[in-house]
Amino acid sequence: MAQYTLKQKLLSCLFYARLVLVSFLYCFTVGLGFAAVAFFQTGKRRQITWRWAIKYYGKTVLALYGYPYIKIKYKDLAPEEKEPGVFILNHRSGSDGFLVAFLPGGVIQVINDWPFKLFFFGIFARLGGYFNIKGMPWERFLQEAGSCIAQDRFSVVGFPEGTRSGCSRMGKFHGALFRLAQEVSCPVYPVVVMGNDKIPDLNFVMHSGTIEIFKLPSVKPEEFAGWSAYKLKNHVKDQMAAKIKELDERTP
């Protein structure tokens, strides 16, 4: 077990207290507005309203709960690419789910089953129609996620490692998101997250620092036409690994 200083423990308590406070204030101000709109909607329209509510909640939390100890920098290396698709992120920390709020356009996350078991976050994951990758048959996932991209114009976001690495080295990628991109014939957007290994760390203790998010140029359907999901997966992972190496080697 890692040893933490009193300052680190107090800082961590401050972050989580702010998270609770910001969540409470958001839910009973902005959140009530979204809830009022959703009350008069049904089906897919209601889910879309909750997805936007979740995205703005994520942006609000990131702007307020860590200030001034945590800074976040987002850089889009291909800002002209706006078509909905599949976003692939490396998974370093428990904060990654919030960072999705920086991605362009409407987004919906593919997650494991454990977030659905959390009282607060699980409620909104269900309201937004988030995809439980472990609890859905493949055909149903393909149909619903494909509909989100092609009809709702929402991008599907996921972490193919499936679990936090806690460091710059990426773990094994699972192939479901890449198979989805092939079936729907949509762009794949690699996204590299740096600097949040300890925001929080694997013991959920918060540290100060700067988080950087880099959206890389997409891999377009015409590029991976005829590829296997395995080849596409490795191609995207290699691109992300090369960017991580480049960023790790920067002169401080």
Q: Give the model confidence (pLDDT) of 30-84 as tens digits.
A: 999 999 999 999 999 999 999 999 999 999 999 998 888 899 999 999 999 999 9
Q: Give the model confidence (pLDDT) of 201-226 as tens digits.
A: 888 888 889 999 999 999 999 999 99
| Average pLDDT score over the chain | 91
Percent of the residues in the chain that have a pLDDT greater than 90, as a whole number? 71
Percent of the residues in the chain that have a pLDDT greater than 70, as a whole number? 96
pLDDT at 166: 58
- The arrangement of strands across the sheet holding 70-76 comes to 70-76, 209-215, 188-194, 86-89, 155-158, 107-111, 131-132
> Taking 80 as the threshold, does the pLDDT of residue 1 lie above it?
no
pLDDT at 225: 95
Residue that has been written with the tokens 């480049």 in this structure: 246
Q: Give the model confidence (pLDDT) of 156-172 as tens digits.
A: 999 998 766 656 678 89
Tokens of 229: 């999901």
Question: How far is Cα 53 from Cα 35, in angstroms, rounded to an integer?
Answer: 9
Fold classified for 70-248: Glycerol-3-phosphate (1)-acyltransferase (3.40.1130)
pLDDT at 54: 95
pLDDT band at 115 (very low <50, low <70, confident <90, very high): confident
